[in-house]
Amino acid sequence: MQNQVLKTSIAEKILLIIGIVLICVSCDHEKITSHIFETDPYTNRLNWNFASKPYNIDLPKGNINYFMSQDFNKIDVYDDSLLASNEENDKVGLLRSKLSPSPLAIPGFINNSWSGLMQYLDESINLSEVDYIECQILENADVFPDVPVTMHIDIGCINEDFYRPGESTNADMEDGLVIQDSILDGEEDVGLDRIENGQPGDDPDDDYSNDKIMVNGFEEYPEINGTEGNNRLDTEDLNYNGMLDLNNSYIHYSFGLDSDEYLHTINTKGLRTYRIPVDIYEIVMDSNFNPDLQNLEYLRIWFEYPEETYVILISIKFVDLENESNSREIIKPLISDLE
């Protein structure tokens, strides 16, 4: 009988330990998943690249540092009346860009620079199915400089030559340094300059790092867009057709982020919603090749600005009022998984 009691006691202790372990694992899992954001192929920073120069502009090129910011909660973005109390502090991942002027800019003079980002859309946009483009921008003038910024949107066939433009008619790429096999082989992750760090001719600004710094209480990642050491197979050939596409044949929109033109709403947190009718576009092309309005494959977002500032993109959506299934949300806020 005593042995039976002892066995029961040991079994109970084992069950108790297992229970404690499971609780701890559950707590750790909750702690981990509380900072995991849903993935989205278009919003994800990894799907974006530096923008090629827009056709027929003479502005000096500035710098853009773009990254997914996790500084904001829902309550920092959306009106309180739209949020349940248990979701006010949910983290929101936002595509944030730090815009710096060209070093050629002259202090004290208003001379704009440009910079931007672009991507190839795996699923093209059919403009005949779209009524307007909805853009949401978060203002935060209390922290970020209140600088006049013009936002431009280009959609269509866009020059891919974004790295050292004009240097070569072949796409700059890391693949092929060892063997061209669409696989990141050892010693290929050296950046689009194809020169290892520290070697003669190396691009000193291409080193990758996801180290965070804090600026005015907000996180930044100054080297997160570097191509050397980022564990990715970088290339200018965004559509992977084996060549550097140099044609420009796209439609163009622009609007001021400090303007009321196309401004639809602004909430109490500074969330500005713009609605741009799709039929007010300009056509930009460097040949007789007209844009195919039913098959717009590249998207470029670029900014025109006089001094350093930030742009926080909440969302960009191509909206079909009659058929929501045709609407395309290219950029959207990423909500942390708190469940």
Dist CA 24 CA 27 (whole Å): 5
- Residues 123-155 pLDDT 10s: 999 999 999 999 999 986 555 667 899 999 999
Domain boundaries, the chain: 1-33, 40-172+235-335
| Radius of gyration, CA atoms only, the chain | 24
- Which two tokens mark 89? 């502090």
Are residues 88 and 74 in contact, defined by beta-carbon separation less than 8 angstroms? yes
Dist CA 14 CA 197 (whole Å): 54
What is the mean pLDDT of the segment spanning 13-18? 40
Are residues 90 and 83 in contact, defined by beta-carbon separation less than 8 angstroms? no
pLDDT reading at 253 higher than 60: yes
pLDDT of residue 258: 86
- Which two tokens mark 56? 């027929």
Which residue is it, tokens 């003669």?
A: 200
pLDDT reading at 224 higher than 50: yes
**Alpha-carbon torsion, ordered 143, 45, 57, 254, to 10 deg:** -70
Taking alpha carbons only, the member of 100, 102, 95 closest to residue 57 is 102
- Phi (first) and psi of residue 142, to 5 degrees: -65, -30
CATH of range 40-172+235-335; options 2.30.110.10, 3.20.20.70, 3.10.580.10, 2.60.120.430: 2.60.120.430
Lowest mean pLDDT across 101-110, 278-287, 292-301: 101-110
pLDDT of residue 207: 96
pLDDT reading at 240 higher than 50: yes
Tell whether the torsion through CA atoms of 328, 334, 335 and 339 is positive or negative. positive
- Which two tokens mark 129? 């199915």
pLDDT reading at 38 higher than 80: no
pLDDT reading at 9 higher than 80: no
- Phi (first) and psi of residue 86, to 5 degrees: -85, 0
Which residue is it, tokens 């500035």?
A: 62
Which one is predicted more confidently, 337 or 263?
Answer: 263
- Write down the pTM of the prediction: 0.85
Output the CA–CA distances (angstroms, integers) from residue 202 to 52, 147, 198, 230, 332, in the order listed: 21, 34, 6, 16, 36
pLDDT of residue 209: 95
Tell whether the torsion through CA atoms of 33, 332, 119 and 172 is positive or negative. negative
6: three-class secondary structure by DSSP = helix
Dist CA 231 CA 262 (whole Å): 41
- Residues 165-192 pLDDT 10s: 999 999 999 999 999 999 999 999 999 9
Burial of 210 (0-12, 13-18, 19+ CB in 10 A): exposed
What is the mean pLDDT of the segment spanning 157-163? 97
pLDDT of residue 336: 65
pLDDT of residue 31: 28
